[in-house]
Amino acid sequence: MSIPDQTRRPLRMAVPLLVAGVLVVALSAYYLAIDEPDTAAGVVVGGLPFLVLAGVALWRAWRRPGSAGTAGRTLTGNPDERDRSIVLGAFAWTGIAAVIAIGAATVAVTFGADALVALQLVMLTVYVVLVGAFVVLSRRT
Amino acid sequence: MRNEIRRLREEVGLSQAALAEALAVSRQTVNSLETGRYDPSLPLAFTIARHFGLTIEEIFHVDP
């Protein structure tokens, strides 16, 4: 229920972001090394916008903790009980969507669809549902 | 569930931000509580009741 104030520890908040940034660069470099330039570009295009957005949310939460939103407080490890219920709900919807998407993808692959495309669509569905559910629940809760 | 949080807060002249700080939650959570969009956990309901010196039943009411 209580909010432990971690918003005054910018270094602690930035560490997970830096680790994620290093992972994105390393994964992209790996795909380049095994001659998969399209996948490497996909990792960068998918990962960097998320990192930039997360960085902005962290910066705002650090500069003005009182005006941080649910995402900012969650990313800084500073959520209250409403924030936690929103995140929990968003992940619940994501889980349901994942089960349905995987089932649909399995059927599609069985009928001859390209497995890689099906997998990418499952991932896209999961991300879209996660973000969408988070936004909707934040507004409704 | 309805509640008397807004009326009680205004009676004691607190802003949402000040009440949020006192309850150790975010200002958005206080706003959601006041507008009835979010029902608090039992521990938070007790904290709110204790803050205003009332019982939970005096603050929260089940919708008819």
Q: pLDDT tens digits for chain A (141 residues)? A: 444 454 456 666 678 788 888 898 898 899 889 988 888 888 888 888 878 887 887 777 777 766 778 888 887 778 899 999 999 999 999 999 999 999 999 999 999 999 999 998 999 999 999 999 999 999 998
Q: In Å, what is the CA distance from A102 to each residue of A68, A97, A105, A115, B43?
A: 35, 8, 5, 11, 39
Residue A3 contacts B, CB cutoff 8 Å: yes
* Distance from the B24 Cα atom to the nearest Cα atom in chain A, whole angstroms: 5
Return the pLDDT at A9.
60
Question: Cβ(A70)–Cβ(B28) under 8 Å?
Answer: yes
Could you tell me if B35 lies within 8 Å of chain A, comparing CB atoms?
no
So what's the ipTM on this one?
0.90
